[in-house]
Structure 1
Amino acid sequence: MNHTCKHICFFFLVFVTSQYLQAQYTETINTNNPGRSQGAFAVGKGVAQIEGSLFYREDDHTLQRYGRDYLGTSFQLRYGAVTERLEFSLFGEFSRFNQTDFNRSVSSESSFANFSRLTLGAKYLVFDPLKFFGEKKVNLKSWKANNRLNWRDLIPAVSVYAGANLDFTEGNLLTPPDDAPISPRIELITQNNWGRWVFVTNIVADRISTDFPSYELLLTMTHSINGKWAVFGEFQTIKSDFYSDDLGRGGLTYLVNKDWQVDSSLTFNFKDTPSIFQVNLGMSYRLDFHKDAPIEQTKNLDGTGKKRKKSKKNKLNLEEDNGGLKL
């Protein structure tokens, strides 16, 4: 797939997404798949979740004259504990590539397999605008008033993430040379829920204590089509002395039930050093052991939610209520 064709596919995907995203956003399984960004909200206390995908990827490098075919898997293990705002996670990606070099008169082939990422970390929701501002008041007389964009809608939910990259192998061709066994990764995550649209940003600083720090920006827009089908588009930029790129990503998801989602996506970039084309097929599944906190209810409440006044008794032992007598 050449440079021009990739541009056309990307803008066509964005155009189709903008035309058919009209359904209602539903809060069921909270998954990061099939994009590479994290949402701001945790999965919930007592919820265990696995998100994984299989992928095939082609890299063609015009300057170094080689081609690579990757076959691999990526996964996320997520668990909410202690509080609704806190989530622990393990992110990983393992792949095997076959490389063909064209620098000689006779091409040569080689292969390699390892983890390109294995990160253990935690995410915490710092700010939730819904809890801070409360629910919007519903205007029963005006549909326009209920659907008008409010300044509060521009204020996102904010989370922070801190993790440790683990790489205890030597000579890993999928990570920077002489990579430290343990290196830090931090992220600032924001999320806007605009009714039918969900917009997520991730600002990432990775391996910041090593010789090859990496900085990333991810922008993800997601929307439902009919409560079952959804589409998404994502842009990712990476800046590093080891590897820099701009990637476009988009795809479809299907909600099988409230705890199970399947998905597919395409990834491509806009350069040829190397050019990238990748296909993903994935799924997310949730084990929901979440329990809502018990709500304490005050006894003797009237319709207003206030305590009912004690009734007085007269000499005939009849109850007097609101100025009247009750037998």
Structure 2
Amino acid sequence: MNSLFAYSKSYQYVFALLFLIPLIGISQYTDVINSNRPGVSVSAYAVGKNVVQAEMGLFYEQRDHTILNTESNIWGTDVSLRYGLLFERLELNYEGTFQDQKITFLNFDLEGKRRDFSRNRLGLKYLIYDPFKNPEANKPNLYSWRANHKFQFKNLLPAVSLYGGANFVLGDNPFYIGEPTISYRGMIATQSRLTPRFVLITNTAYDRISTDDPELSYTISLSHAFRNPKWSVFVEHQGIDSDRYSDVLIRGGIAHLLKENLQFDFNMGASLKNTPTRIFFGIGGSYRMDFHKDSLKPIEDQEADQNGGAIDKKAMKKKKKDKKSKGSGAEDVNLGPSKKQLKKLKKAEKKKKKESSEIDF
């Protein structure tokens, strides 16, 4: 099996550079669309219960193989349909890529065409660990802007999700000749919010399990949100290793949030090897239909620290003392002078009359 890491030192430098580039954060359910586009990496978080999300795009690729001496022009479309199933942490996901490849065999001056699904899979993703689950441990610092925006080592602790799914090869697919109709895929996805503007996502997948050519792959994605949060950019590195196909890819792109439920994006990338050489770009968008409703929890089922924390035994006694010291609550109503105030006013008035009646010689 060809090794992913058997490429030249220059490629290793490119790979290392990805870790030095500043890299957007995604929480569980949000009021704003949360898309996996324009990259191929998958977020650790689900879209949220009863949220339906469609992510679609068009792409073009130029692919040349120096050993086989072939040239290919590829047009295609990819789609991802995501649904928050049963509860917040679980997501049902369909991913499909349909492409039309025109291939020229230069040695024989022949042309051929391949047209079918290069990706057709259905799976479930479940969030098993969320470092932001406890809001008390992640409260912002109200006295320091810098403390909230600087990098902290605790931010490296990622959210983790597990993915399990199946690939489907229907009919005589020219991209997967002789493969079984169903094969399987497993993946671990992590997501670390390094700062409020920077996020690191990693995917490690073992694909096409139960076929003669299983595939191991990894993806590292670094994203950054601009000062205007409607704009964001990303850079992504992907490695693929199997007996059927191995490659090292790098891609980047930009996304713009047009509305809270609509996003447009652009991406481009290339391979770091020449067997084959790949150059590609694409445009797309994501749209969300939100049917999410917060579930109500009976008060007897809630924990003591929810909804403001546990109740102190002496809480009511303290309130009574405060009530005496602070007044009855009618201080803002003008009820006229009290008896003591009236006596003082009478004395002051008598004194004033007495002084005014004395004769000054």
Common fold: TM-score over 0.5: yes
- Does residue 1:219 correspond to 2:220, yes or no? yes
Q: Are 2:55 and 1:54 aligned? A: no
State the alpha-carbon separation in 1 of the partners of residues 292 and 252 from structure 2.
31
2:346 corresponds in structure 1 to none
User: RMSD over aligned Cα, in angstroms?
Assistant: 3.2
Structure 1 moving runs of 4+ over 3 Å: 23-27, 132-135, 137-151, 294-298, 303-310, 319-327
Asked if the contact 1:256/1:262 (under 8 Å) is kept, the reply is: yes
| Residue number in structure 2 paired with 1:231 | 233
Aligned to 1:316: none
Q: Check conservation: 1:57, 1:277, Cα contact below 8 A.
A: yes
Pick closer, same or farther for the CA change 1:304–1:219 going to 2, 3 Å: closer
Change in CA separation of 1:133 and 1:67 when aligned onto 2, cut-off 3 Å: same
Give the TM-score of the pair, scaled to structure 2: 0.75
Aligned to 1:141: 143
Q: 1:294 deviation in Å? A: 3.3
Return the alpha-carbon distance in structure 2 between the equivalents of residues 210 and 132 of structure 1. Answer: 42
The corresponding residue for 1:264 is: 266
**Alignment of 1:71 onto 2:75:** yes
What are structure 2's unaligned runs of at least 5 residues? Answer: 1-10, 301-307, 331-361
Quick one: distance in 2 between partners of 1:147 and 1:55?
A: 36
Rg: which structure is higher?
Answer: 2
Change in Cα spacing, 1:211 to 1:249, as seen in structure 2 (3 Å) is same
Q: Deviations over 1:201-226 (max 9, x none)?
A: 00000012111000000000111122
Task: String of CA shifts for 1:34-63, please: whole Å, max 9, x gaps.
Answer: 111100000000100000110111111111
Within 5 Å, which residues of 2 pair with 1:270-281? 270-281=272-283
CA distance in 1, matches of 2:64, 2:260: 40
Cα distance between partner residues in 2 of 1:67 and 1:129: 47
Residue 303 of structure 2 corresponds to none
1:134–1:158 CA distance, 2 compared to 1 (3 A): farther
1:112-163, CA deviations, whole angstroms, 9 ceiling, x for partnerless residues?
Answer: 2000111011000000001157443443333443344333211100000000
1:320 and 1:247 map into 2 onto residues whose CA distance is 69
Q: How many residues align?
A: 300
Contact 2:25 2:199 in 1 (8 A): no
**One-letter amino acid of the structure 2 residue matched with residue 234 of structure 1:** E
1:174-253 maps to which residues of 2 (within 5 A)? 174-175=175-176, 177-194=177-194, 195-225=196-226, 226-253=228-255
**Mapped contact 2:25–2:193 kept (Cα < 8 A):** no
The CA distance in 1 between the partners of 2:127 and 2:44, in whole Å, is 7
CA distance in 2, matches of 1:62, 1:304: 67
Structure 1 residues 67, 156: CA separation in 2 closer, same or farther (over 3 Å shift)? same
Report if aligned partners of 1:183, 1:208 keep a CA contact under 8 Å in 2: yes
Instruction: Give the Cα separation in 1 of the matches to 2:131 and 2:321.
Output: 47
**Aligned equivalents of 2:89, 2:280: Cα separation in 1:** 33
What secondary structure, in the 3-state scheme, does the structure 1 residue paired with 2:155 have?
helix
Q: Is the 8 A contact 2:26 2:45 kept in 1?
A: no
Q: 2:166 aligns with which of 158, 164, 167?
A: 164
Residue 132 (structure 2) pairs with residue 130 (structure 1): yes
Provide Cα deviations, 1:259-318, integer angstroms capped at 9, x if missing partner: 1001010120011111001111110000011111236679xxxx99848749xxxxxxxx
Residue 130 of structure 1 aligns to which amino acid in structure 2?
F
- 1:321/1:136 Cα in 2 relative to 1: closer, same or farther (>3 Å)? closer
CA contact (8 A) 1:25 1:227 kept: no
What TM-score results when the alignment is normalised by the length of structure 1?
0.82
Quote the Cα distance in structure 1 between the aligned partners of 2:221 and 2:25: 18
- State the SS of the aligned residue for 1:145: helix
Q: Which runs of 5+ in 1 are unaligned?
A: 1-6, 311-318
CA distance in 2 between partners of 1:246 and 1:66 (Å): 19
> Contact 1:216/1:236 (CA < 8 Å) preserved in 2?
yes
Q: 3-state DSSP class of the match of 2:221?
A: strand
* Structure with more strand by fraction: 1
SS of 1:216's equivalent?
strand
Q: Distance in 2 between matches of 1:238 and 1:229?
A: 30
